[in-house]
Homo-oligomer: A and B are copies of this chain.
Amino acid sequence: MKTEIITIGDEILIGQIVDTNSAWMAEQLNLIGIEVYQITSVHDDHEHILRALRDAESRADVVLITGGLGPTRDDITKNSLCAYFGSRLIFHQPTFDTLSSRFQKAGIPVNRLNRDQALVPGICKVIPNEKGTAPGMWFEKNGTIFVSMPGVPFEMTHMMEKEILPRLKATGKTRHILHLTLLTQGVPESILAERLQEWEDRLPASAKLAYLPSPTALRLRISISGNDSAEMESSLEKARESLLPLISDCFFGFDNDTMAGTIGKLLTETGATLAVAESCTGGNIAHLITLTPGSSAWFRGSVTAYANEIKTGLLNVSGETLENFGAVSAQTATEMVQGAKKAMKSDYALATTGIAGPDGGTPEKPVGTIWIAVAGPTKFICEKFVLSGDRLRFIQRASQTALHLLRKLIVQETSDHG
């Protein structure tokens, strides 16, 4: 069942709003095995809307339309739909009754503009809008389904969940697709792709692998299509089991997991706590950790030691170390991690010290150089990285790299004790 999405509204095409509706709809449709073939954003313009409808109809079985249903004069979708389906607007009493009783409750008088919202093309099936004033509209033409919905996200999502997705499922024409996303960190896409090529070649035709890079992870998505649920589940399980050993050095979670969340789970299992000492990452590691709900159970706190006096004063780094080896050195990172662990009485600690740029680099220690130290109850790692990117990207990469090193250390500590 091939679907297209058409979003109508000048505000998208002048970049005033980001079209989050389409991604949400596409995700929901994919979850019930409906493929979204194309997303098209068009202006509040009669000819433009008609052309988009014609083009979509020529390719798709279902056309989902959002936007342009408001009460103001720039919203013209309903008139365009009338023209497209050779219908005309009629007054829909149930829609008006619902609308006026809702307005009455809120003590708002109903004006002509509101009354016009109860006008719908005579040919459509009206879909109630429980969260707003503009109803949804369902059309069928030569076997193609068209649905027009309001563009306000919470009105649209409610209508999709309550009315549209169940009706689409009821057609019996939805396909079944399974997805699993594996999150990796620390191995570049090109190297991973080379490593996984053979594995990918052996995948059955029903399975597909996609590489999805993001600032916080390189995500590998396996998709399985088919008709037999049990067979698909088993294909996905086989793919997962054969892929995991190939990415053990960089894998850290599934789907919506985060590195900090994964670390939180590992620490919670053993009742252990964490402290952080940051220099070049400037608080971002603490920020990523504390974005995780419930992190107060295992995260003690952090010190952002930007000035050297903070490194000596709060983290007990010795002035001699700073003088002899510099702030960006294995020695300083080591003393920072030890100082953080002691000052904040934690089981694990993590420390970063590096040069985020744009200034401060030297030939020996160029911008992007970072020393990361992690310490657990018995183990310790201190490693140097040279990361690229501007200041923001450096901070993001450095933070993820540091958290990943910590995750590895926790896994080592735990497996030794397990």
Interface residues of A (CB under 8 A from B): 10-20, 22-30, 35-43, 48, 52, 55, 70-74, 102, 105-108, 111-114, 117, 131, 133, 152, 154, 179, 181, 188-191, 193-194, 200, 209-215, 221, 223, 273, 276, 278, 281-287, 289-291, 293-296, 299-307, 309-310, 313-314, 343-345, 356-360, 366, 386-393, 395
CB distance from A51 to the nearest CB of B (A): 9
User: Which of B211, B313, B387 lies in contact with A106, CB distance below 8 A?
Assistant: B387
Decide: A40 and B37 in contact? CB cutoff 8 A: no
> Which residue in B113, B310, B391 is a CB contact (below 8 Å) of A190?
B113
Shortest beta-carbon distance from A82 to chain B in Å = 21
CB atoms of A71 and B294 under 8 A apart: no
Q: Separation in Å of the A248 CB from the closest CB of chain B?
A: 20
Q: For the A-B complex with A15-B22, A291-B392, A293-B359 known, give 18 more contacts whose Cβ atoms are closer than 8 Å.
A: A12-B26, A15-B25, A15-B29, A17-B212, A18-B19, A39-B41, A72-B193, A73-B200, A74-B209, A113-B190, A131-B389, A282-B289, A286-B286, A286-B304, A290-B306, A294-B359, A295-B306, A314-B344
Most B-side CB within 10 Å, residue of A306, A314, A356, A357 = A306
A43 lies within 8 A of B39 (CB): no
- In the assembled complex, the Cα of A10 lies from the Cα of B38 at a distance in Å of 10
CB pair B26–A14 under 8 Å, yes or no, is yes
A188 nearest in chain B by CB position: B108
Are B300's CB and A302's CB within 8 A?
no
**Cα–Cα distance between A111 and B55 once the two chains are bound (Å):** 42
Given contact pairs A19-B19, A283-B304, A287-B282, A37 touches B26 in the complex (Cβ within 8 A): no
Chain copies in the assembly? 2
Partner of A304, one of B29, B154, B290, B356: B290
Q: How far, in whole Å, are A345 and B23 apart by their CA atoms in the complex?
A: 47
Please name the 8 residue pairs, one residue from A and one from B, whose CB atoms are nearest each other, closest first.
Answer: A282-B290, A283-B286, A15-B27, A15-B26, A301-B310, A283-B283, A39-B41, A283-B287
Q: How far is the CB of A247 from chain B (nearest CB, A)?
A: 15
Q: Which of B11, B18, B24, B214 contacts A15 (CB 8 A)?
A: B24
Q: Closest approach, in angstroms, between the C-beta of A24 and any C-beta of chain B?
A: 6
Interchain nearest-CB distance for A361 vs B (Å): 12
Task: Identify A300's interface contact among B102, B310, B359, B388, CB under 8 A.
Answer: B310
A68 to chain B, nearest CB (A): 12
Note all chain B residues with C-beta closer than 8 A to A215: 154
Task: For A273, give the chain B residue with the smallest CB separation.
Answer: B307
| A303-B301 contact, Cβ under 8 Å, with A194-B111, A343-B314, A395-B291 | yes
Whole-angstrom distance between the Cβ of A17 and the nearest chain B Cβ: 7
Among candidates B22, B284, B289, residue contacting A41 with C-beta atoms closer than 8 Å: B22
Q: Are B38 and A40 in contact (CB under 8 A)?
A: yes
Chain B minimum-CB-distance residue to A314: B314
Q: How far is the CA of A210 from the CA of B44 in the complex (A)?
A: 11
Q: List 28 A-B contacts (CB under 8 A).
A: A12-B23, A13-B36, A13-B38, A15-B23, A17-B214, A18-B23, A19-B23, A22-B41, A37-B43, A38-B43, A70-B211, A71-B189, A74-B210, A106-B387, A114-B190, A131-B390, A133-B190, A278-B286, A282-B286, A283-B304, A284-B287, A287-B395, A290-B306, A290-B356, A291-B395, A300-B307, A313-B344, A314-B314
